[in-house]
Amino acid sequence: MISTMPGESILPQLPQAGDVIGEKYEVVGVLGRGGMGVVFEAHHKRINQRVALKMLHPHVREEPGVLERFEREARAAGQLRSPHIARVLDVDTATELPFIVMELLDGRDLDDVLAVEGRLAIPVAVDYVLQALVGIREAHSLGIIHRDLKPANLFLSNDGGDAPMIKILDFGISKITTEVDGRLTAAMTTLGSPVYMSPEQLRDGAEIDARADLWALGVVLFELISGKPPHAGTVTGVTASIIADRAPLLSSARADAPPELDAVLARALEKDLDKRFQDADEFAAALLPFASADTARRVQATLVTVPAPLSSRRMLTTHTPQSFDLSQAETRHSFTTASTARPSSRAALWVALGAVAFGSLLGVTIFMIARRPASASAQPAAPTAVVATASPGAAATNAEAAPPEAAGSAALATPEPTEAKPAQAAPAKPVVRSKPRRGAPPATAAPAGAKNPLRL
């Protein structure tokens, strides 16, 4: 089927319901229309599956470079496996009407959500952007830059199980329109929608990197929470404002927005590329404290486990609420472990040495007490020698009455050396000799030499 326009070549016409494309895709109906093409619902006749069929407008096909970019981006998106990216199943640019086959989604995009519900609760909006960051991270890892992230390209699918799931649409496919609304893609040469474009993308769309997509998601988050983008108006006004003006604080558009989230969005919308978030993981880590608990846990598990730059760690430490801090909990744990490992080992060594010393002293003491003869403790001379310090006369009398061994003990127990001389001159009396077993200490030796084991 063809159509003829004045002054133009004969162009093929878009299919109607019931037409079969590529010998296997039967068109069911139109799902949506855009500047570059139309999305149809189709039925895969061979495998009995419903799919989405995206086709370029006939006149767009004639634009230079369109077919090449259409096929290249379709194949690049086909490499992505993230559940947060709409799957590409097939592509064909060799026919009169090039098409891309994608999974058919049930739900609505965030542009429709904003139109119906207005601004969203902060945790809900953060959850949606976090899911988009997980998806776009895989694309960036393969060198794919979306360049047109906006609410209309973030689809809230009901196919994600218990909770709706964000899926990114339209990789690298810009829209053409002559409207002056800055929310729409303005021209074929401008890949993206001006309201969501970064300053460097507006200056030179060819010289951008993944940080342009992070800017766009920052604008999306601002709009989801406040109900309006940070820069609005005509294409000319929006472009001038983005390049020249600093983005307003989120709290200026929504009073209950925490200042910590203000800081996160201010960094996402930083004109200086070196001060902006450098990758999707860094942006996601900064948003975790503001997400719902379930989403935060799921996203945290997918983040690359590398330390964030010092500047971002400082910002998170300063602005993260105390109630929920999964990302910093692991960071603090790793830093604490590294810094305290050496002191803990030293403390354990000293405790072990103290225990060994105490055990050795206790064992020696018990051994020496066990080897003392029973008769040594029964001798009356020993206690007399311990207290015999009242006078020199008394000491001499006790020394004369005691055997030589006992006298020697008395001399050791007496602090004055003059008292030991009469004891040494006294004659021995064999009838009371009771020589202790060699090696046995005097009765008072153990208490005098004992140490407090707690001081080791």
The mean per-residue pLDDT over the stretch 356-375 comes to: 69
Q: Hunting for tokens 């989405």 — which residue is that?
A: 52
The mean per-residue pLDDT over the stretch 362-375 comes to: 66
Instruction: Say whether 19 is catalytic.
Output: no
- pLDDT tens-digit map of 205-251: 777 899 999 999 999 999 999 999 999 889 999 999 999 999 999 99
Beta bridge partners of 56: 37
Are the beta carbons of 234 and 241 closer than 8 angstroms?
A: no
- pLDDT tens-digit map of 142-191: 888 888 899 999 999 997 667 889 999 987 553 333 334 455 444 444 55
- pLDDT tens-digit map of 328-345: 333 333 333 333 333 444
pLDDT score of 296 more than 90 = yes
Catalytic residue among 127, 148, 170, 281: 148
pLDDT score of 9 more than 60 = no
Query: Does 12-103 match 107-324 in CATH topology?
Result: no
Q: What is the rounded distance in angstroms from the CA atom of residue 129 to the CA atom of residue 117? A: 17
The Cα-based distances of 98 to 16, 52, 56 in angstroms read 15, 14, 6
HSE of 421 in the Cβ direction (CA atoms, 13 Å)?
5
The Cα-based distances of 298 to 127, 134, 246 in angstroms read 11, 10, 33
**What are the helix (H) ranges across 186-325?**
199-203, 211-226, 235-244, 250-253, 259-268, 280-287, 293-302, 310-319
- The ranges assigned to domains in the chain are 12-103, 107-324, 372-455
Are the beta carbons of 441 and 345 closer than 8 angstroms?
A: no
What is residue 405's predicted lDDT score, i.e. its pLDDT? Answer: 45
**What are the helix (H) ranges across 274-372?**
280-287, 293-302, 310-319, 326-371
- pLDDT tens-digit map of 103-138: 999 999 999 999 999 999 999 999 999 999 999 999
What is residue 227's predicted lDDT score, i.e. its pLDDT? Answer: 95
Q: Residue 251, Cβ neighbours under 10 Å: how many?
A: 15
Are the beta carbons of 140 and 279 closer than 8 angstroms?
A: yes
CATH number of 107-324: 1.10.510.10
Residue 55: enclosing H or E segment and its boundaries? strand 49-56
What is residue 3's predicted lDDT score, i.e. its pLDDT? Answer: 40
CATH number of 12-103: 3.30.200.20
Are the beta carbons of 145 and 199 closer than 8 angstroms?
A: no
Rounded CA Rg of the chain: 44
What is the residue-averaged pLDDT of the chain?
Answer: 73
What is residue 114's predicted lDDT score, i.e. its pLDDT? Answer: 97
